[in-house]
A and B are shown apart, each in its own frame.
Chain A
Amino acid sequence: MLAYNSEENLSGSQNRRITWDGCSVLLDINDGDRVLFARLTAGSKIKIGDKNCSLQPLIGCPFGSSFQVEVGAGGPFLAPMIPNAEGNGLSEKTDDQTMEECRDNRALVDNNTAQSLTGEDIDGMRRKGATGDEIVQALIANSATFEKKTAFSQEKYRIKKQKKYAPRVLLRRPFARSICEAYFKKHAEKIGFLRVDTLSLLLSLANVTAHSNVLVFDMLDGIVTGSVAERMGGTGYVCNPHCGTTPLPISIVRMFNFSDETCKRILHASLTELQPSTGENSTSDDQLVDECNIKEQQNKDTLSSSAKDMVNMEENSTANMDTDNNVAASPKSAKTVKAGEKAPPETIKHWNENGFSSLIIAAPNLDAWDVAKDLVPLLAYSAPFVIYHQYLQPLATCMHNLQSNKMAINLQVSEPWLREYQVLPSRTHPHMQMSSSGGYLLSGTRISSSDQN
């Protein structure tokens, strides 16, 4: 039997709102210009522009706090910002803006002489201890064209200078939402172009909730596995199936700050173990092994490429941070429990006898039907499944085959469409750029095959 009593501690790590030594965080630099993952330790550093800053001041701060890069006697550092003292957000300017928007830019001449402050002047100010904000003010005061600009372009100018001379860092909690968005923005190919709205729809359609047993074939480096585990709060199980002996990598799971209890519930098992060995199945064991071997071969190709990608992501995301050493050095962050252990025999037995309560397949380099035909039968009757693919055709074919083999009903191929809006007085409109493809989902419900009434 499964233990149904070990629930996540409510006030425990899953929902902590203050950072701690060794916690994983998302750093949003300059209002989304760059988003990166980091582990907060006393020695970890981050490079912003040409400045290296220690992440130490971020430890023990509430998520949602902002910091600004300042330069002190001991070099650049991250100084906490007091929200209301900012006073220069785009939004706060808008009121007067609409009224005086009779100004236009006909008198504006673009040349490089508009700014009278030189790089040396700025360095000089820095040496005398000027704050980033003061430098931005000085740049504005010394701009010949600033007064002629429209309020909107003045604001744009101010923000541009602020980003350069006083960059900001926003501390964010890593959630499925923010992790998926961060990847989609900068490394969409690493998560198979799975957009956050598609991920959210996938989790709903798969009916992921506490105490479920979810079979997750995740070739997106663990983003799906992590998102599923996040919805289960340390109850139930996530099982990553694989062919052969090597489980697929799920490194993104480490970014979630999961508690030990949640990590313990992310397991892997081979297809051979998961498939009940009764003669019921037409495929003989030998055939099965062969099939697995072939698949493993295929997987290896994709696997090695995704392993390479991972390194890349590390490079990009933790660019110039010597976090790794420090993580090892800090005893608190040394995880006692690792996510993705091998499923123990009694858990596998439970799955064999009861079936899984949901199935998710996210294998954008494989044929959807090829995976579905093996995994859908592992579902309990009436259980939902969802297959993600970045292309439509494999899902259409898979849907057709599931239908002709009478394996499922309630089949639907869907594709979410997401549009963001700029909302400002008299200037509300959809964003000029949008992602036009966030991937496709095939969803359905497994039916009981014994319908010979």
Chain B
Amino acid sequence: MLPTDSTKTLSFKRCITEGDLVIVYERHDVMKAVQVSEKGVLQNRFGIFKHSDWIGKPFGSKIFSSKGGFVYLLAPTPELWTLVLSHRTQILYIADISFVVMYLEIVPGCVVLESGTGSGSLSTSLARAVAPHGHVYTFDFHEQRAASAREDFEHTGLSSLVTVGVRDIQGEGFPDEFSGRADSVFLDLPQPWLAIPSAAKMLQQDGVLCSFSPCIEQVQRSCETLKSSFTDIRTFEILLNTYEVREGHLPSWQDGDGVLASLKGCKKRQRSTNGQENSRPQTVLARRMGETRGHTGYLTFARLSCIR
């Protein structure tokens, strides 16, 4: 997934080969991750697609099915991966993820600790941020989830950047071997306050911690615990508004037919009245999407106090 592997770097010349992970794009909200194999077949509402037709085509190509439907084949990115991964838990989405990476001040070479791993949505972006020489150590106490996450990182080519451990972080804390070594720590746990003392031990001086919690009561308790060894404690909520954009014709109110047609919302008829309405140009209209995620969680950040 990352250009750290120079053979996978995007380029005009880079073509799809056997074994590649591709994101099959139907619409911005219908995508699927597929591993390309010579004999593989993809079937969807557009018909049947043979993987063998994909091999040798550049990423970003439009591919037609036997029935004439089409999809695009995209190179995977952490953003696309978050949209297609299998949800084994609640996951973090792009707005929270981006803010976490920025606020934790993660740069190439950083050592980052995370718990729980969940579905690995955040870990994938953490890996991109620490590449090429940093490392993400992520822990989940659920053995099967940890195993599935490990498989996913293998798939996405991130296993050299992410190590998944099975461990009860609330009960035992992070392993001692990371004491004082972590640049940042991220917690997405039901009772984060139980893990905060250990997180403080793991962090380097001036290192940053983030805890993600859906409920304000969790935030309240975490902040209480943070006070003893952290400063600059700040809690945020971040959401994303997306916009629907379309071209529309807004008729003059003096154009009686146009007004009536617009009442019926009949776009096609407006257009077909032999070019008359072309005197008024088409306008590009934008409005917020009707429905959106109203809450994901609160992000609490804190910096380890500096004892000098």
Contact = CB atoms under 8 A, between A and B. Distances in A.
Interface in A420-453: 420-421, 423, 425, 428, 430, 440, 445-448, 450-451, 453
B300 A423 contact: yes
B98 A396 contact: no
Contact of A204 (B64, B101, B286, B298): B101
A395 B245 CA distance: 9
A15 B183 contact: yes
A17 B204 contact: yes
B: interface residue count bin: 35 or more
B34 interface: no
B235 interface: yes
Given A14-B109, A353-B13, A413-B286, A209 B131 contact: yes
Contacts of A353: 11-13
A80 interface: yes
B72 interface: yes
A419 B237 contact: yes
Q: Among the interface residues A14, A204, A234, A412, which one has the most CB atoms of the partner chain B within 10 A?
A: A204
Contacts of B164: none
Contacts of A448: 57-62
A154 interface: no
A416 interface: yes
B284 A64 contact: no
B282 to A, nearest CB: 9
B14 interface: yes
A380 B14 contact: yes
B147 to A, nearest CB: 26
A197 B301 CA distance: 14
A231 B308 contact: no
A395 to B, nearest CB: 8
Given A203-B98, A397-B284, A64 B303 contact: yes
B277 interface: no
A421 B233 CA distance: 10
Contact of B132 (A199, A233, A393, A399): A233
A contact residues, range: 35 or more
A207 B108 contact: no
A262 to B, nearest CB: 10
A65 B306 contact: yes
B189 interface: no
B234 A392 contact: no
A412 B242 contact: yes
Contacts of B125: 204
A65 B308 contact: yes
Interface in A199-240: 199-201, 203-205, 207, 209-212, 230-236
A157 interface: no
Interface string B227-258: 10001011111111111011100000000000
B284 A421 contact: no
A235 B108 contact: yes
A395 B241 CA distance: 14
Contact of B105 (A61, A173, A233, A354): A173
A17 B206 contact: yes
A64 B231 CA distance: 9
A91 interface: yes
A205 B79 contact: yes
A4 B4 CA distance: 9
A355 B108 contact: no
Given A211-B6, A382-B60, A400 B308 contact: no
Interface in B195-247: 204-206, 216, 219-220, 223-224, 227, 231, 233-243, 245-247
A353 to B, nearest CB: 7
B23 to A, nearest CB: 9
A212 B10 CA distance: 9
A352 to B, nearest CB: 9
Given A210-B131, A392-B243, A15 B110 contact: yes
Given A211-B4, A411-B28, A421 B241 contact: no
A428 B25 contact: no
A353 B242 CA distance: 35
A417 B241 contact: yes
Interface in B1-28: 2-4, 6, 9-14, 25, 28
A418 interface: yes
A414 interface: yes
3 closest Cβ pairs, A-B complex: A233-B108, A381-B60, A382-B60
26 contacts: A4-B6, A8-B109, A62-B306, A63-B206, A66-B306, A197-B95, A203-B101, A204-B101, A207-B77, A207-B128, A210-B4, A211-B2, A233-B107, A380-B59, A382-B10, A382-B73, A382-B74, A396-B286, A409-B72, A418-B238, A419-B237, A421-B298, A425-B220, A448-B61, A450-B61, A451-B62
